A and B are shown apart, each in its own frame.
Chain A
């Protein structure tokens, strides 16, 4: 049975109820040491030291076993090893490596636990450790939840330290000198007399030695690479058209394919393929789940032929239009559908019984990932062996699901993970990989490159769910005294994990993430999540639940603060009860020189802070009202990440997160008619264009003692900071996204 099949009978930890179930997985299993997946796979002359380091005659290769999606993870993780081994940063090679449980992500499972990031109690720490155990047991090699750096921080530095130690020991043995006198520098051991022995010259001997299990990483005072601006290893390739994405792979004898499936996800009642089959260059028409694939001698012909197939589509298995979907969401605020109440502080009933009560309702739409490299993969099935090249965040699952699809053992599948042209969560799904397997099976022996059209991508994304929030709050004496937020959304965890073969148990924290766990000491505070029935299948979208809840929480808090007649920044600072979050907000206030929400006539400033993925991120957005609409002039953004590993990449991720958050808040939505998205192309799904992009000043704070990721946390505060700024500038409080329904943008 495939790996996916084996784990299907267990339950992935999604919420508190599943924590207990996790223990039943078997304590013994996760205590076993992980095997090195590189063992037995390397050519002669190449040696693996830990699962993360290969030394051969040409130098050192670091395994960075997370998906490079643009977030710089390959370089960031490689830097951990390079620092400890004292490698030459300009020549170190970085590869993803094979899919393997050895590369499990010990942090990502705990993301789903209902534990606030600010909670450092014994139970919280224990539960996080349990997440590590479960991940190891279930081979959870996943890139997600901004966890890659946190997860790798100890493991990969220790791996680098261990590799360095064994190479030093080999040098000592070879030269007959004590280890203590040996330095390492730029990929070589430096002998007491100053001679340099490059690591490749020591690899053979070092491979005979035992790797120490407890090599200690360097103290930060000794770092020469971490914390310094570093050149991404892929920057030259990506600046010269050689990024090496799956869509760019060229193999001998390769053919080109696309798919077209029911945009309303209702299956196929019939199809007429005669016209497509008659087109010159078409090689095969292949039924795939929900539609058909076309293999041709080029991608364009395949896409033309796919459009020439006359399909009789089935009806959608969910409400057909946005109005009916909103009715379903609105009808989900019931006791039956209550999913969680993770925060219930003070006497909310009494606090909202009288006085100055504020109520509001907010809505956000379904959103597409739309990575600029459309979904696709290359696959070749030859004599019972399956090769796949793809960008994927779930390599162990993708391999196992592909094996199941092809009727092969996972050992017969070789999956090579390539850099992705964006993902934003899209490549947590294996749908396009399984289609490539189906297509390859139709033309054995030939590599088949599947490329989705953009229309297919827009139609068949697994979007961020639409969501609605109802807020009630109270103010008194110029202060916010009560905040109640009820959020209704589909469960991303149930939808996504279901497709991977996991039944998801317990509450879905994503429904309320970014709302229930915010660092404010509001005297009466309640956050309740309601689970909307599955409609359009949904998945993780950059910052997941916090992407909507940051908007809900920080917009509604802003409303309350204005109702109290307080300053949006001062009142937040008064309410904050987490020292790290306070410093972030103080930092951003200082950067912007905050003097209030209305710095001038027609100008407005909005502030927002969201704690997500353990990272408090705060933003101030300044806008002004022009004759052409709202212009976004400046953004100041700060976040607490424990350590800024690379200031360049940190700035890039922060700025990118701001652009992502602002652009989607301004312009993007998926609306449905006849069960299909009305936005069939990027023309109807504008993010931000360069001319709308403000100057974005960024600061990283390093006050905490935990290293955190920065891919997602800048996103949630961007939309509310912008909406709050528009309110400050115009007096218009916008409660529905996208904002263009209410205002024009210059």
Chain B
């Protein structure tokens, strides 16, 4: 049995220790906001925060996460109370198909927690591992700048909703 905190709720999971966190979240816990894109840590669709650090959930064996604290897109904010990064994503209308955007948003939230006023080069470095097949990159950059401004205006909301 593995015990971990998911979006602030304690969970006990019975799963093979090598099973990736991604599939525990999606298939066991029903938290489908975290997406499967490649399964090899290449596309970033499964980006979550583990103990405040971004990670590709498809590469994180559940057996290594006993006692960990996981934040997924569902825990970042909700439709009624979106996180400032999500609010910027909504206002900038970033999403097309939207499938990669959970991962993009989690990576952006992690970036802004580290670098409150990122340059385009910071954005390029930090979100390099998040693929968008629809090509929303120009809007992602704009939304991150927008979110940075929102977070400056609302200090204390930079992480974990």
Q: Is the CB of B99 within 8 A of A373?
A: yes
Q: Is the CB of B27 within 8 A of A239?
A: no
Q: How many pairs, one residue from A and one from B, have CB atoms within 8 Å of each other in the complex?
A: 186
Q: Is the CB of B38 within 8 A of A250?
A: no
Q: Is the CB of A70 within 8 A of B90?
A: no
Q: Does A232 belong to the interface (CB within 8 Å)?
A: yes
Q: Is the CB of B124 within 8 A of A239?
A: no
CA distance A573 to B149 in the complex (A): 44
Q: Which of A245, A303, A372, A653 has the most CB of B within 10 A?
A: A372
Closest beta carbon of chain A to B13's beta carbon, Å: 11
Q: Does A713 belong to the interface (CB within 8 Å)?
A: no
CA distance A611 to B133 in the complex (A): 23
Q: Does A231 belong to the interface (CB within 8 Å)?
A: yes
Closest beta carbon of chain B to A124's beta carbon, Å: 33
Contacts of B74 in A (CB 8 A): 240-241
Stretch at the interface among A544-552, A657-665, A725-733: A657-665
Closest to B30 in A: A250
Contacts of B53 in A (CB 8 A): none
Q: Is the CB of B95 within 8 A of A239?
A: yes
Stretch at the interface among A135-143, A417-425, A503-511: A417-425
CA distance A451 to B73 in the complex (A): 21
Interface string of A55-80 (1 = CB under 8 A from B): 00000000000000111100000000
Q: Is the CB of A372 within 8 A of B99?
A: yes
Q: Does B63 belong to the interface (CB within 8 Å)?
A: no
Q: Does A454 belong to the interface (CB within 8 Å)?
A: yes
Closest to B89 in A: A239
Interface string of B125-160 (1 = CB under 8 A from A): 101101111111111110000000000000000000
Q: Does A356 belong to the interface (CB within 8 Å)?
A: no
Q: Is the CB of A241 within 8 A of B34?
A: yes
Interface residues of B in 89-107 (CB under 8 A from A): 89-90, 93-102, 105
Q: Is the CB of B97 within 8 A of A422?
A: yes
Interface residues of B in 9-53 (CB under 8 A from A): 15-16, 19-20, 22-23, 26-28, 30, 32-40, 42-43, 45
Q: Is the CB of B23 within 8 A of A240?
A: no
Q: Does A185 belong to the interface (CB within 8 Å)?
A: no
CA distance A430 to B125 in the complex (A): 38
Q: Is the CB of A231 within 8 A of B135?
A: no
Interface string of A246-268 (1 = CB under 8 A from B): 01101000001000000000000
Q: Does B56 belong to the interface (CB within 8 Å)?
A: no
Interface residues of A in 657-679 (CB under 8 A from B): 657-660, 663
Interface string of B69-100 (1 = CB under 8 A from A): 00011100111001000100110011111111
CA distance A439 to B72 in the complex (A): 31
Interface string of B97-125 (1 = CB under 8 A from A): 11111100100000000000000010111
Q: Is the CB of A239 within 8 A of B82?
A: yes
Closest to A243 in B: B98
Contacts of A682 in B (CB 8 A): 37-38, 40, 42-43, 131
Contacts of A422 in B (CB 8 A): 97, 99, 133-134
Q: Which of A69, A235, A240, A659 has the most CB of B within 10 A?
A: A240
Closest to A281 in B: B16
Q: Does A656 belong to the interface (CB within 8 Å)?
A: yes
Contacts of A70 in B (CB 8 A): 95-99, 134
CA distance A297 to B89 in the complex (A): 35
Stretch at the interface among A87-95, A314-322, A485-493, A683-691: A683-691
CA distance A237 to B86 in the complex (A): 10
Closest to A300 in B: B23
Q: Which of A420, A421, A423, A451 has the most CB of B within 10 A?
A: A421
Q: Is the CB of A420 within 8 A of B38?
A: no
Contacts of B19 in A (CB 8 A): 298, 300-301
Q: Is the CB of B82 within 8 A of A690?
A: no
Contacts of A555 in B (CB 8 A): none
Contacts of A250 in B (CB 8 A): 30, 32
Closest beta carbon of chain B to A637's beta carbon, Å: 12
Q: A300-B23, A371-B133, A695-B138 are in contact. Are A245 and B99 (CB under 8 A)?
A: yes
Q: Which of A256, A648, A690 has the most CB of B within 10 A?
A: A690
Q: Does A11 belong to the interface (CB within 8 Å)?
A: no
B contact residues, total (Cβ < 8 Å) = 61
Interface string of A626-655 (1 = CB under 8 A from B): 000000000000000000000011001101
Contacts of B133 in A (CB 8 A): 370-372, 422, 424, 660, 687
Q: How large is the interface on A (under 10, 10 to 19, 20 to 34, 35 or more residues)?
A: 35 or more
Q: Which of A248, A681, A689 lies in contact with B38, CB distance below 8 A? A: A681
Q: Does A236 belong to the interface (CB within 8 Å)?
A: yes
Closest beta carbon of chain A to B11's beta carbon, Å: 15
CA distance A298 to B23 in the complex (A): 7
Closest beta carbon of chain A to B111's beta carbon, Å: 11
Q: Is the CB of A690 within 8 A of B139?
A: no
Contacts of A453 in B (CB 8 A): 39
Q: Is the CB of B131 within 8 A of A689?
A: yes
CA distance A683 to B39 in the complex (A): 11
Q: A240-B73, A652-B96, A682-B131 are in contact. Are A235 and B137 (CB under 8 A)?
A: no
Q: Is the CB of A693 within 8 A of B95?
A: no
Q: A241-B74, A655-B139, A660-B135 are in contact. Are A683 and B23 (CB under 8 A)?
A: no
CA distance A236 to B86 in the complex (A): 8
Q: Which of A238, A239, A660 has the most CB of B within 10 A?
A: A239
Q: Is the CB of A648 within 8 A of B93?
A: yes
Q: Does A234 belong to the interface (CB within 8 Å)?
A: yes
Q: Does A242 belong to the interface (CB within 8 Å)?
A: yes
Q: Is the CB of B90 within 8 A of A239?
A: yes
Q: Is the CB of B39 within 8 A of A454?
A: yes
Contacts of B97 in A (CB 8 A): 69-70, 243, 371-373, 419-423
Q: Does A374 belong to the interface (CB within 8 Å)?
A: yes
Contacts of A234 in B (CB 8 A): 95, 98
Q: Is the CB of A421 within 8 A of B79?
A: no
Contacts of A303 in B (CB 8 A): 39
Q: A241-B33, A683-B40, A690-B124 are in contact. Are A652 and B139 (CB under 8 A)?
A: yes
CA distance A423 to B134 in the complex (A): 9
Contacts of A238 in B (CB 8 A): 95, 98, 101
Closest beta carbon of chain B to A586's beta carbon, Å: 24
- Sample 25 A-B pairs with CB under 8 A, ordered by A number: A69-B97, A70-B98, A236-B82, A239-B86, A239-B95, A239-B101, A240-B73, A240-B82, A242-B33, A250-B32, A280-B16, A303-B39, A372-B132, A421-B35, A422-B97, A454-B40, A655-B136, A656-B96, A656-B134, A681-B38, A682-B43, A683-B40, A690-B128, A690-B130, A690-B141
* Other A-B pairs beyond A420-B97, A682-B37, 15, CB < 8 Å: A234-B95, A236-B79, A239-B90, A239-B98, A240-B73, A241-B33, A241-B74, A248-B33, A298-B23, A300-B23, A373-B35, A419-B97, A656-B136, A659-B135, A681-B38
Give the interface of B toward A (CB within 8 A): 15-16, 19-20, 22-23, 26-28, 30, 32-40, 42-43, 45, 72-74, 77-79, 82, 86, 89-90, 93-102, 105, 121, 123-125, 127-128, 130-141
